[in-house]
A and B are shown apart, each in its own frame.
Chain A
Amino acid sequence: MSQGLSPIAFLTRTRRPGRIGLTDILSWAWLILGTLAVLVPVVWAGLSSLKPAAEITRFPPTLLPRVAVQQTVPGFDAPLSLWTVNVDGQSREMAMIRRIGLKAQMVDPNNPGTPVSVDVKSMSPVQRLTVATENYTDPLTRFDFLTFLKNSVFVTFVATLLTLIVNALAAFALSKYRFRGEKAIFVLIISTLMIPLTVVMVPAYLVVVGVGLVDSLWGIIIPTIASPTGVFLLRQYMLTIPDELIEAARVDAASEFRIFWRIILPLTAPALAVLAIFSVLWRWNDFLWPLIVLSSRENFTLQVGLNAFQGEFSVQWNYILAMTFLSLAPVTLVFLFLQKYITTGIAGTGMK
Chain B
Amino acid sequence: MSTPKSTDLGGRALDFVMGIVEAPINGFERLMGRKRMPYLFLAPNLVLFGIFTFLPIAIAVGYAFTGGTGLFVSDRPFVGFDNFRQLLQCEDYLRPGSCRESLFWTAIWNTLWFVGFNVVATLLVALVTALILNRAIAARGFFRAMFFYPVLLSPVVIGLIWKWFLDRNGLLNAFLQMLGVPPEIFLLDVGWSRFFVVVVSVWFHMGFYTLILLAGLQAIPKDLYEAAAIDAASPRRTLFRITLPLLGPNLLVVLILLMIRSVQIFDEAWVLTNGGGPGTANSFIVQYIYQMAFGSDLRLFGLASAASVLMGLVLLALTLIQLRLGRKMES
Contacts and interface: CB of A to CB of B under 8 A. Distances in A.
A15 B152 CA distance: 32
Contacts of A332: 149
B129 A34 contact: yes
Interface string A190-212: 00101110111111111111110
A10 B289 contact: no
B137 A343 contact: no
B169 A58 contact: yes
Given A45-B160, A258-B1, A285 B155 contact: yes
A112 B143 CA distance: 58
A200 B308 contact: yes
Interface in A1-58: 1-2, 10-15, 23-24, 27-28, 30-31, 34-35, 37-42, 44-45, 48, 56-58
Interface residues of A, number: 107
A269 interface: no
Given A205-B293, A306-B160, A346-B208, A288 B266 contact: yes
Contacts of A59: 168-169, 173-174, 177, 183
Contact of B164 (A48, A58, A179, A311): A48
Contact of B53 (A200, A288, A327): A200
Nearest to A41: B165
A257 B168 contact: no
Chain A interface mostly? helix
Contacts of B129: 30-31, 34
Given A10-B138, A287-B267, A200 B57 contact: yes
Interface stretch (A88-96, A115-123, A247-255): A247-255
Contacts of B171: 40-41, 44, 61
A1 B141 contact: yes
B29 A203 contact: no
Contact of B212 (A57, A286, A347): A347
Contact of A198 (B145, B161, B264): B264
Interface of B: 1-3, 18, 22, 25-26, 29, 34-35, 37-39, 41-42, 44-46, 48-49, 51-60, 62-63, 71-73, 128-129, 132-133, 135-141, 143-157, 160-165, 167-171, 173-174, 177-178, 183, 203, 208, 211-212, 214-215, 235, 260, 264, 266-267, 271, 274, 286, 289-290, 293-294, 301, 304-305, 308-309, 311-312, 315-316, 319
